[in-house]
Amino acid sequence: MTQQPLRIGLAGLGNVGASVFRLLTEHRDMLRDRTGRDIRVVAVSARNKSKDRGLDFSTVSWHDNPVDVAADPSVDLVVELMGGSEGAAFDTVKKALELNKPVVTANKALLANRGAEVLALLKKSEGTVSFEAAVAGGIPVIKGLREGLAGNKIRAVYGILNGTCNFILSEMYSTGRPFADVLKEAQDKGYAEADPTFDIDGVDAAHKLSLLSGLAFGCVPDVEHIDTKGIRKVTSLDIDFANELNYRIKLLGIARQTDKGIEQSVEPCLVPKDSPIATVEGALNAVYVDGDFVGKVLLMGFGAGGNPTASAVVADIVDVARNRALPLMGIAAEKVTPLKPANILERIGSYYFRLMVLDQPGVIADISAILRDNKVSLESVLQRGRDPDQPVPVILTTHETSEESIQRVAAEIGKLPSVVEPPYLMRIEEFKS
Nearest to 15 by CA among 183, 190, 163, 185: 190
Minimum Å gap between C-beta 196 and ligand HSE is 8
Q: How far apart are the C-alpha atoms of 370 and 333, rounded to whole Å?
A: 50
Minimum Å gap between C-beta 149 and ligand HSE is 22
Beta bridge partners of 393: 356
For ligand HSE, which is the closer residue by CB, 86 or 274?
A: 86
For ligand HSE, which is the closer residue by CB, 308 or 330?
A: 308
Minimum Å gap between C-beta 89 and ligand HSE is 14
Interacting residues toward ligand HSE by CB under 6 A: 137, 162-164, 191-193, 199, 204, 303-304
Minimum Å gap between C-beta 166 and ligand HSE is 8
Nearest to 88 by CA among 104, 111, 110, 120: 110
Minimum Å gap between C-beta 193 and ligand HSE is 4
For ligand HSE, which is the closer residue by CB, 125 or 162?
A: 162
Which contiguous run of DSSP H or E holds residue 244?
Answer: helix 236-244
Minimum Å gap between C-beta 100 and ligand HSE is 29
Nearest to 395 by CA among 348, 358, 351, 362: 351
Contacts of 372 (CB under 8 A, 6+ apart): none
Minimum Å gap between C-beta 405 and ligand HSE is 33
Q: How far apart are the C-alpha atoms of 348 and 433, rounded to whole Å?
A: 12
Q: How far apart are the C-alpha atoms of 266 and 204, rounded to whole Å?
A: 10
Q: What is the CA radius of gyration of the chain?
A: 24
Among this protein's residues, is 208 annotated catalytic?
A: yes
Report how far Cα 6 is from the mean position of its chain's Cα atoms. 30
Nearest to 54 by CA among 105, 83, 104, 13: 13
Q: Measuring CA to CA, how many Å separate 90 from each of 96, 126, 231?
A: 10, 17, 29
For ligand HSE, which is the closer residue by CB, 204 or 429?
A: 204
3-class SS at 294?
coil
Nearest to 104 by CA among 120, 116, 87, 92: 92
For ligand HSE, which is the closer residue by CB, 251 or 270?
A: 251
For ligand HSE, which is the closer residue by CB, 108 or 114?
A: 108
Contacts of 243 (CB under 8 A, 6+ apart): 173, 273
Determine contact, residues 9/79, Cβ cutoff 8 Å. Answer: yes
For ligand HSE, which is the closer residue by CB, 171 or 193?
A: 193
Instruction: Name the catalytic one among 208, 273, 335, 415.
Output: 208
Catalytic residues: 208
